[in-house]
Structure 1
């Protein structure tokens, strides 16, 4: 084994996009790991580093050469390579020539398919110095960069212009050229605190050297944790707690290399603005951290992170306070101007905004939403008045000044303006809840009206885009349709909302312009799309649910997700019964017999007079009794009790298969027995298709 040395690669760039920095670093690390393993270059561990101006990886104990290996070439079968007299045929000689050796050097190998000629050739490992530059190139090329840049005379593309490259194996520079930059061992430190290039003596010294000489905390996680602690301590000093989520902390981490907290304040008069407006102004525009007291009330204070240790922190504070004063003054102006007319009056402006080509304007989209929401309300057998009103006003805030400035406040501002305009509280709340959940793990609508509007809005979006044939493929989902579908699933299940999904899709599709012009649209793709999202949801939120359990239930085509969940829970319990393995095996046997005989289910009448075996009679009678017992249970969705009742059939089913030959020569008797099995198959599909269950241990 060759002597291993630490390896460092650093790609120095102009400022990288802060929101994407962590993803870029993770993807770079994963790709390097995969490519090193693919090239048989052994190493101990690796760690990534990411700052606004660099992506880097240190690989511990990277071998200087590939592992040696053998390449094998498979030749013709021995039966073809040699004739009956044992003489080599043309096939054997051609294979030896292809391998560049004599026939004596060709070996043989026995496989399950017979004995074949094989040739094994040892491969000497290539040096890391030769392989690593190409490995890094591949890793950088595979990064998830939506839009790559070109600069100067460089023919290659990257997320930002590349300024320097370090490639060190031990203390030795690996020479290469990428992005018109020649690799070396010098990096750049902080733009203010560090002057000139900094030499990295070895990969092991990289992180420490950047921190001590370059005033750069290269470790993203360390920098983020330092920011979190600094922000919490600064907020505590002024008697509050920061309002921030992980996304804001990650973005600020991606903006700084040497973070220093600065606490500022703003005019207390701005606290008359809605809380969400102040938070959006501070976080979205400025990446500041708002501060709230112990009961969640906003304080006129904020925390920002300077990217340097200034000798005059008060000047930094004053500059940030001036900026935020102007921002909040703008927000207050929009807030006051938006209230000069009722929310409903903004509806006419929606006619001027195109929603999507071939789907008309936002006003048209709203009309469709109203129709879908009313249909859902009638399915729920509730008064549709507030639902229709909330749907009608739901998009009006899109053309207000504040939402134009802060798009993330759509719905929220509509709720405020609805209250100010004198709308009923239920209507205003529903307008604020219409976009929930916005992301994975987000809160759900609490009001019934809000649930209906949120489901209707997502169905309207899905139906519209599906009607245009723009179904998500691969990782591409520009309209957020997967998120919308999963939102529907969560609202229906976690919000305990009973709804026939298939009927709701039919109603939504019927409202789309394409349906009006060309007739009825195919609703199956959208139904299947939502069901696939429901599968993801169920398998992720219920550890005991398996893919085969989901498939078994889906085969029965329940269209209510609450009904679907009840069936899943019942089948999952059923798989633990001691009778379950026998019943599943018997059901599969039944299905196979019916399938092989291509038996038609159109006539399942069983003639008891044709029975000539006591086991037939017993199974028939027990099956009839079970059918009568489970029918009311199915109506009550008492699926566990239904399956328990079916489990009682195990003995009579086993006895039937042990003592009865189904495929007898007499067609009349054979068809009668097939009819009995057909009835049995149907009964065992009332809750789920038990034959689809796998690996049942009972």
Structure 2
């Protein structure tokens, strides 16, 4: 049992890729060691700007010996009638380098075969490791590899040195065209000279002495602690996105957190613009107060221990000032014209070649958003019934105006956000200003939804208009290609209607969106059908993430509900129903009833003739069905789907008795027709909630 150290040194690795490279290296080596049957106590992968390394402790010195069973031809083919070996047997034995007499018989369920058990000596671990590490490097997730100089070896960056040791000894090997040694390099500035690693166990401490914290996770923790400490000193909270934190961790060997400041005058600029440029361009951590308002400070992570940190702080303040000044200039420049004039410029901006300009899209959004707002009023949806339809139209016409602004031109991620600032500066009502930003919500899976009534109308109208338009010109998503993010749009529509508890008919909204294109779409009915099917197909992605089974989703989709909120209520009722003890039997019976009715000839009647109920089992079922109908009617009016299915669960015993004792396809046509009608009523009663015959319990 020993310790193995592997380190590949290179030029600075791409910071956004460092963590994935580390994780991939770990997974690959673990898998290969397992496949090679090499045991070890622990495996640690480390990553820093100029290196990827592995430390494997308690690793076995060799593979265990193993027995391999070689199987040859069938016994019948290996020996003749007199029991003498045939050429087939002799050839098999010769190939293994043994005498025919050493062969054995292997019994299988497909017959007996000749064979031989071969003992394979385990290889030394040090013989296997170079190939394991090289394979792991070859399989790293590198989008584009490069060659350095005349070397034929490829890697994400030019490689510089290689360490491969077993305890205190170098393992002779060549990986990535480099010969293994025991020398590494420390910090590029603090410790540029080669360092000899005396023992694999001393790797981390030797590098730390050379000002390199080689463990990615430890380096990240030091950054987090430093940022937290410096932000607390000014009573602020740091904005620390995980992606940015990972990238900064990958940029430094020796993290030193420092706090700097900028002029307060820049705080008049939308803070989202300031935060965006400081995070994306400078890799700074911005600070806010407890209410989330940006403060005139930022924290950066230096890669050196400066003798005069104030000089480093001053340098970063000088670097960031022009970027903040640019954002300030764009913001002030945009204010020279009101938002409504910016919107006029949209008449010259194309949304899509076949679908017209963004101005035309804004007009369609205004029309559809006003339709939705009117629906809120007509249906008296309590939380939103006081919505102002005229303000909704104006918000829609202003919603895309900021796309023409210089601020959004520089910071595309601020679309909507910039418009909200400009709307407030123009004195627009807060309901309109807030809606301009909320139109884009939710932006991603799990994102917040729009909060205001007008924001909800814009968010729905914008997405539905895009869905209808793109499907209408036959540009629907295919495979992984979805340039207009229609899948995300469809899920956004469903989430808003469901989570905001809006009992609105989706088909009606899509019909209105189609009508707004005023003949631009080649086949309006086809577009309506395709968009409905596409949005309905998103239910599966939404709900399987929540742990709901696919067959439950299919059971509700089978009745094609047009209200997403209603779909959600039915689905949760079905999910609870499937846990009932009667569920499995009722699912099978519903499937059977559906098949019987599908095969029946002619029209099945609507009402049961009690005088034709001759068997006790069918009478019992009819009485139970009549009782269930009475119980279900008021529940159905209030969409109490849970209670409906619990009530219908009482039909299990009568239905089981019916199928055990009654012949549906009686020779008497009148009896047969009456029994089919009885089953049709059973089927229709269950379909008031879902097709439970789709359930696989």
TM-score of the pair, normalised by structure 2: 0.85
Question: Unaligned regions of 5+ residues in structure 2, if any?
Answer: 379-386
Match of 1:109 in 2: 107
1:659 aligned to 645, 658, 661, which one?
661
Q: Work out whether 1:55 is the aligned partner of 2:68.
A: no
Equivalent position of 2:647 in the other structure: 645
Q: Which residue of 2 aligns with 1:414?
A: 419
Which residue does the alignment assign to 2:499?
494
Higher mean C-alpha displacement, 89-98 vs 411-420: 89-98
Aligned to 1:21: 18
Q: Which has the larger displacement, 651-660 or 671-680?
A: 671-680
**Structure 1 residues 257 and 615, CA, compared in 2 at 3 Å: closer, same or farther?**
same
SS of 1:516's equivalent in the other structure is coil
* Matching residue of 2:604: 603
2:553 counterpart of 1:550: yes
1:621 corresponds to: 623
Counterpart in 2 of 1:686?
Answer: 688
Matched, 1:583 2:579: no
1:168 corresponds in structure 2 to: 165
CA distance 1:546–1:17, change in 2 (3 Å)? same
Contact 1:75–1:95 (CA under 8 A) maintained in structure 2: no
Cross-structure match for 1:400: 405
Residues 354-391 of structure 1: CA deviation (Å, up to 9, x unaligned): 55676665445545544554554455456643333323
Aligned counterparts of 1:472 and 1:453: Cα–Cα separation in 2? 27
1:106 deviation in Å?
4.8
Alignment partner of 1:186 is 2:168? no
3-state secondary structure, aligned to 1:254: helix
> Structure 1 pair 330/82, CA: closer, same or farther in 2 (3 Å)?
closer
> For residues 655 and 87 of structure 2, what CA distance do their matches in structure 1 show?
58
Check conservation: 2:13, 2:157, Cα contact below 8 A: yes
Given the superposition, is the C-alpha separation of residues 73 and 685 from structure 1 closer, same or farther in structure 2, using an over 3 Å criterion? Answer: farther
Query: Which residue in the other structure is 1:568 paired with?
Result: 571
The correspondence for 1:159, drawn from 156, 168, 186, is: 156
CA contact (8 A) 1:76 1:91 kept: no
Deviations 1:565-602 (A, max 9, x none): 2112222332343433443343344456567xx34695
SS in 1 for 2:340: helix
Q: How far does the alpha carbon of each residue in 1:163-218 deviate from its partner, in whole angstroms, 9 at most, with x for none?
A: 333343444545554554444443322211111223334443322222122x1112
Tell me whether 246-255 or 140-149 shows the greater mean CA deviation.
Answer: 140-149
Query: What is the CA deviation profile of residues 373-422 of structure 1, one whole-angstrom value per residue up to 9, with x for unaligned ones?
Result: 45544554566433333232222212312222222222111111122223
8 A contact 1:509–1:521 mirrored in 2:
no
Equivalent-residue separation in structure 1 for 2:418 and 2:232 (angstroms): 30
Aligned to 1:331: 327
SS of aligned partner of 1:50 = strand
Query: CA separation of 1:630/1:393 partners in 2, compared to 1, >3 Å: closer, same or farther?
Result: same
- Name the CA distance, whole Å, in 2 between partners of 1:341 and 1:197: 62
Q: Aligned runs of 1:51-450 on 2, under 5 Å? A: 51-69=48-66, 71=68, 102=100, 105-111=103-109, 114-117=110-113, 119=115, 121-122=117-118, 123-155=120-152, 157-213=154-210, 215-350=211-346, 353=349, 355=351, 362-363=358-359, 365-367=361-363, 369-370=365-366, 372-377=368-373, 380=376, 381=378, 384-450=389-455
Cα deviation code 1:28-53 (max 9, x no counterpart): 32233233333433333322222222
Q: Does the aligned pair in 1 maintain the 2:604–2:673 contact within 8 Å?
A: no
2:463 aligned residue (458, 462, 475):
458
Distance, in Å, in 2 between the alignment partners of 1:157 and 1:507 is: 57
Question: Is the deviation greater in 311-320 or in 601-610?
Answer: 601-610
Alignment match of 2:7 (pick from 10, 14, 34)? 10
- Aligned-partner SS, 2:44: strand
Q: 1:280 to 1:208 in 2, by over 3 A?
A: same
Give the unaligned 5+ runs of structure 1.
Answer: none
The secondary structure found in structure 2 opposite 1:42 is coil
- Find the aligned partners of 1:473 and 1:212 in 2 and give their Cα distance: 52
- Greater mean alpha carbon deviation, residues 201-210 or residues 60-69: 60-69
> What is the aligned length?
683
**Contact 1:465–1:471 (Cα < 8 Å) also in 2:** no
CA shift at 1:428, angstroms? 1.2
Residue 289 of structure 1 deviates from its aligned partner by: 2.3
Alignment partners' CA distance in 2, 1:116 and 1:507: 73
Kindly state the Cα deviation for residue 429 of structure 1 after the two structures are TM-superposed: 0.7
Name the SS of the counterpart of 2:305 in structure 1.
coil
The alpha carbon displacement at 1:340 in A equals 0.2
Deviation by residue 1:485-534 (Cα, 9 ceiling, x = unmatched): 44334333323233434554565577789972466545666555544543
Kept in 2, the 8 Å contact 1:539–1:546? The answer is: yes
In 2, the alpha carbon distance for the partners of 1:74 and 1:661 equals 58
Distance 1:183 1:300, change over 3 A: same
1:462-541 pair list within 5 angstroms: 462-463=467-468, 468-469=474-475, 471=477, 473=479, 480-505=485-510, 516-517=521-522, 520-521=525-526, 527=532, 530-531=535-536, 533-541=538-546
Residue aligned with 1:649, SS: helix
SS at match of 1:648: helix
Shift of 1:305: 1.4
**Distance verdict in 2 for CA 1:639–1:77, change over 3 Å:** farther
1:74 and 1:116 in contact (8 A); partners too: no
Going from structure 1 to structure 2, the CA distance change for 1:17 and 1:84 (only over 3 Å counts) comes to: closer
Alpha-carbon distance in 2 for matches of 1:355, 1:99? 71
CA distance in 2, matches of 1:574, 1:59: 51
Q: In structure 2, do the counterparts of structure 1 residues 269 and 621 end up closer, same or farther at CA, with 3 Å as the change threshold?
A: same
Does the 8 Å CA contact 1:510/1:516 hold for their aligned counterparts?
A: no
Secondary structure at 1:437 match in 2: coil
Say if 2:666 and 2:672, in contact at 8 Å, map to a contact too: yes
Secondary structure of residue in 1 paired with 2:43? strand
Task: Indicate the residue corresponding to 2:384 in structure 1.
Answer: none
- Per-residue deviation, 1:254: 2.2
Q: CA RMSD in A?
A: 3.8
Q: CA deviation at 1:341?
A: 0.3
Write the distance in 1 (CA, Å) between the matches of 2:415 and 2:101: 77
Looking at structure 1, the residues matched to 434 and 525 of structure 2 have their Cα atoms a distance apart, in angstroms, of: 34
Q: How far apart are the structure 2 equivalents of 1:533 and 1:623?
A: 35
* Alpha-carbon offset, residue 616 of structure 1: 1.1
**Structure 1 stretch 576-585 or stretch 43-52: which is displaced more?**
576-585
Partner SS, residue 301 of structure 1: strand
